[in-house]
Amino acid sequence: MRNIYKSNVAVIGGAGFLGSHLVNYLIKERECNVLVIDNLITGQKDWINKKATFIYHDITQSEAGLRKIFEQNKIEYVFNYAAEPYIPVSFERPLHVFDINARGALMVLNAAQEAGVKGILQVSSAEIYGNLDGKIKETDQAIPHSTYGVSKLAIDSLIQARWREAKTPAIAMRQFNCVGERETHEYIIPVIIEQASKGNEIKLGNNSFRDFQYAGDAVKMAVELLEKGEFGEVYNMGSEEGIKMYDLAVLIGKLMGKDVTVIEDESRKRPWEIWHLQSDNTKLYQTIETRPQVNLEEALKRTIKDYEENGWCYK
C-alpha cells in the first residue's frame, strides 16, 4: 500500500474535466502539493485550483523535459488524465489521437520511472471493449471500435508489458463514462442539455446504453486505486449502472422542467457503434473501499446547474 496524503503529486491534464475534479480533491481532502501539467488545448486555466502549481507542457513534445519537471518538483505520484478523448476526432485524425493517447502516455511512463516516481495512474477507457452484453469484466475480450479505443488499449498493454519488462510502477484504470461540472467536449450529456435549453425536441443518434459515474466520485476512487492497486494491472471504473440515451434525454428534460420528444437523427449516428458499456467493478471493489456516493439524477442536476451558470467551454 502507498499513501498519497500530503505527497507531491502531478496531475497531467489537471486543467480539464476529470483532472480539475482530481486536483481539487487532492488539495482539499488529501492535503497534497499538486502540480498541474497541461497544454490548455481543451483544459481551462481558470479551472485550476489556486493552491496548485501550473506548468504548461505537452506530453508529446519532450520526454526529457517531462522528466526534468518531475525531478525538479520532487514528484512522488503521477495521474495521467491527458488525452484526446473526443472519439469523432479519431475518425479524421487517427495519427493525432494515437500520438497523444499511446505514444504520449508512454513518454509519461518513461519519464516518471526515470525520475523515481513511486506510482503512476494512467487513465484508460471502456471504449477498448466492443459489443458485450451485461456488465463487463477486465478479462472480457477487447475489440475497440475506434482509433481512440485502439490507442487506449495500446497504453493498457504497454503498462502491463512495462511492469514485466522494467517494473514501471503504473496502473491502468479503464474509466467508463463520467458526468459532472466542467465538461470540456461535445459529449452526449452536454448535447442533450443544450438542446433541451432551447426547445422540447432532442435530436440524437444511436440509442446505445452507457454507464455514467459522477466525476467527483470517480476521482476519489482513482486516488485510492493508486494507493492500493497492483502495478501492471488494469481495473474497470464505473457506476455499475446505466441508461439508454433516449431515456437519458427524457430524464434530463424532466430535470429541466420540460417534456421532451426524442427524434432519431441519422446524421448523428456513430459508425460501428458500441451498443452497451456497463462496468463490472468486482476487481476494483476487491481493492478499494470507496464507493460511488452521487447517483445519476443528482449528477445531472449538478451538470445542468453548471451549464446554466457557465455554459460549455468549447462554445
Question: What pLDDT is stored for residue 1 in this prediction?
Answer: 79
CB of 102 closer than 8 Å to CB of 158: yes
Q: What is the DSSP string of 159-211?
A: HHHHHHHH---EEEEEE-EEE-SS--S--HHHHHHHHHHH-SEEEES---EE-
3-state secondary structure of 61: coil
- Distance from C-alpha of 277 to C-alpha of 255, rounded to nearest angstrom: 24
Q: Please tell me whether the overall predicted TM-score, pTM, comes out greater than 0.75 for this model.
A: yes
So what's the pLDDT on residue 271? 84
Low-confidence ranges of the chain (pLDDT < 70): none
What is the grid cell recorded at 235? Answer: 481495473
Residue-level pLDDT at 248: 98
Amino acid, res. 240: E
Q: Whose grid coordinates read 447517483?
A: 295
CA dist 129 and 144 (Å) reads 5
The whole-angstrom separation of Cα 141 and Cα 279 is 14
In angstroms, the CA 23 to CA 29 distance is: 10
What pLDDT is attached to residue 47? 98
Long-range contacts of 157-162 (CB under 8 A, 24+ apart): 158/102, 158/105, 158/106, 158/109, 159/109, 159/122, 159/232, 159/234, 160/232, 160/233, 160/234, 162/109, 162/113, 162/232
CA distances from 267 to 146, 204, 208 (A): 18, 9, 15
CA separation (Å) from 107 to 67, 121, 131, 206? Answer: 9, 14, 31, 36
Whole-number pLDDT of residue 195: 97
pLDDT of residue 270: 84
Position of cell 506548468?
55
Neighbours of 28 (CB within 10 A): 11
